[in-house]
A = this chain, B = another copy of it.
Amino acid sequence: MEKDTVVNIKIEKAETSKINEVDFSNLSFGSVFTDHMFICDFKNGSWQEPTIIPYQKLSMDPSAKVFHYGQAVFEGMKAYKDDQDEVWLFRPDENFHRINKSSARLAMPEFPEEYFFDGLNQLLKLDKQWIKKGFGNSLYIRPFVIATETGVSASPSTEYKFIIICSPAQAYYAGEVRVKIADHYSRSASGGFGFAKAAGNYAGQFYPTSLANKEGFQQVIWTDSNTHEYLEEAGTMNVFFRIGDKLITCPTSDRILDGVTRKSVIQVAKDLGIQVDIRPIKVVEIIEAAKNNQLKEIFGSGTAAVINPILGFGYKGDKWELPKLEDSYASTIKNTILGIQYNTIEDKYGWRVKVD
């Protein structure tokens, strides 16, 4: 990352590494963490000295505001190691700007750019051996901010912690995914904070998703909370529909996360000569297309899996299966993005950013 300023980060190294206890061929997503974490406190109106310390528990007062009023935002990004042992990030500026957008909507202070990038850089250098080579392997990076002021009164916290933790990951395979299109429950409101990567946007999805699971669907595609007629996004993915040769995805809004993968998919698809329509999509349009065999693909886009093909969907009791395609848009686009991420193809976009 070629940032000019270098922040003074106090580093306390772990005495021993846990890396030998980890079976890198058998990782469950997001469950093992590296030796170090980045942490920076906000108090008295400003961010204090950033530090890197051994991964460790936090001492939290039971009245800390994050537990009661939900001021918590996060990001999800990955680092990749190429064959020359170089470590790369993918469009990290996007994550940096997004976490601050999320924070602002939740009345939380924005984090300084140089703290973010210098902190991330130094953390990744320290835990570099946790990033394994090979297509699919990566280090999942989780920056997050939580409100730590004590006191059970419903007002914005005056104290926060900005933290980065990292978890080694293998290729993400979500299994066969069929989705239920929401017809009753919703994820977010117009005028709400659905566009923010805020903790409060996730807990509400678990129960409706568990109901969908019982009907045989792995995930839910959320629709607008007003009419349930328009397709929006999935729990942790934006969604794309291929009708005939066109790729369609809905516009972002204050209800929808502006996914980094989504915007990369749109760009790559266009450059592959695919027509991409960004416009509201009605559920009935998808169902009509499915009936006429024009619905060729549905896929989700997100950092974890890049692209997740969706094999079928259900809506109000009816179910549809999608055709199995040889040359899917999903796999072509995914391979291009993976190639950029793992430094195996040219990156004409400047999306790949070296850690050094």
By a beta-carbon cutoff of 8 Å, the part of chain A in contact with chain B is 28-31, 33, 37, 55-63, 66-72, 74, 76, 104-107, 140, 142, 144, 146-147, 150-156, 163, 165, 167, 182, 184-193, 198-207, 210, 225-226, 228, 235-236
Known: A107-B210, A192-B188, A225-B190. A68 touches B74 (CB 8 A): yes
**Bound: A71/B201 CA distance, A:** 10
Return chain B residues, CB-CB under 8 Å to A68: 72, 74, 142, 144, 199, 202
With beta carbons under 8 angstroms apart, the residue of B58, B142, B153, B187 that contacts A152 is B142
Assess whether A199 is in contact with B69, with CB atoms less than 8 Å apart. yes
What is the copy number of this chain in the assembly?
2
Minimum C-beta distance from A256 to chain B (A):
13
Assess whether A72 is in contact with B67, with CB atoms less than 8 Å apart. yes
Assess whether B60 is in contact with A226, with CB atoms less than 8 Å apart. no
With beta carbons under 8 angstroms apart, the residue of B30, B61, B66 that contacts A67 is B66
Assess whether B63 is in contact with A199, with CB atoms less than 8 Å apart. no
Assess whether B146 is in contact with A67, with CB atoms less than 8 Å apart. yes
Known: A30-B153, A62-B58. A203 touches B206 (CB 8 A): no
Minimum C-beta distance from A55 to chain B (A):
7
Assess whether B153 is in contact with A31, with CB atoms less than 8 Å apart. yes
Assess whether A70 is in contact with B203, with CB atoms less than 8 Å apart. yes
Assess whether B106 is in contact with A206, with CB atoms less than 8 Å apart. yes
With beta carbons under 8 angstroms apart, the residue of B37, B147, B193, B205 that contacts A204 is B193
**Bound: A152/B57 CA distance, A:** 15
Known: A67-B66, A68-B74. A31 touches B151 (CB 8 A): yes
Return chain B residues, CB-CB under 8 Å to A55: 62
Return chain B residues, CB-CB under 8 Å to A31: 150-151, 153
Assess whether A192 is in contact with B187, with CB atoms less than 8 Å apart. yes
What are 17 A-B pairs with beta-carbon distances under 8 A? A28-B151, A57-B61, A58-B59, A59-B59, A66-B67, A69-B199, A70-B203, A107-B203, A152-B165, A152-B167, A184-B191, A186-B190, A187-B189, A189-B225, A192-B225, A198-B204, A226-B226
